[in-house]
A = this chain, B = another copy of it.
Amino acid sequence: MRDHRISPATVERAFAQLASEGLIEPKPGQGTFVRQTQKIVAEEADFSWQSVALGSARGDGGSMGALLALPPSDSLVLSMGYLPPDLQATGLLTNALRQAAARPELWDRLSMEGLEPLRAWFAREIGNGSVFAPHEVMICAGGQAAIASTLRALVPHGRPILVEAPTYTGAISVARTAGLELVPVAMDENGVRPDLLADAFRQTGARVFYCQPAFSNPSGVVLSSERRAAVLDIAQQARAFIVEDDWARDLALVGAAPPPLAAEDRHGHVVYIRSLAKSAAPGLRVAAIMARGAALARLKAVRGSDDFSVSGPLQAAAVSIRSAPAWKRHLNMARAVLIERRDTLVAALRTELGDRASFRVPVGGMHLWVRLPDHISDIGITEELARQRVIVSPGQAWFPADPPGSFLRLTFGASPAALREGANRLGIAVRQQV
Contact = CB atoms under 8 A, between A and B. Distances in A.
Copies in the complex: 2
A134 to B, nearest CB: 9
B49 A239 contact: yes
Interface residues of A, number: 112
A40 to B, nearest CB: 5
A319 to B, nearest CB: 6
Given A295-B54, A311-B285, A88 B108 contact: yes
Nearest to A140: B307
A304 interface: yes
B45 A307 contact: no
Contacts of A104: 85, 88, 90, 94
Interface string A298-316: 1011101111111111100
Contact of A98 (B88, B101, B307): B101
A413 to B, nearest CB: 11
Contacts of A239: 49, 52-53
A307 B41 CA distance: 34
Given A65-B300, A97-B101, A109 B20 contact: no
Contacts of A177: 152, 301-302, 305
A179 B152 CA distance: 11
A380 interface: no
Contact of A101 (B37, B64, B93, B117): B93
Interface of A: 19-22, 37-40, 44-47, 49-55, 57-60, 62, 64-65, 67-70, 80, 82, 85, 88, 90, 93-94, 97-98, 101-102, 104-112, 117, 120-121, 124, 127-131, 133, 141-142, 144-145, 148, 152, 154, 156-158, 170, 173-174, 176-177, 179, 207-208, 239-241, 266-268, 281-285, 292-295, 298, 300-302, 304-314, 317, 319-320, 323
8 contacts: A21-B117, A22-B120, A37-B124, A49-B267, A59-B301, A60-B304, A94-B101, A307-B307
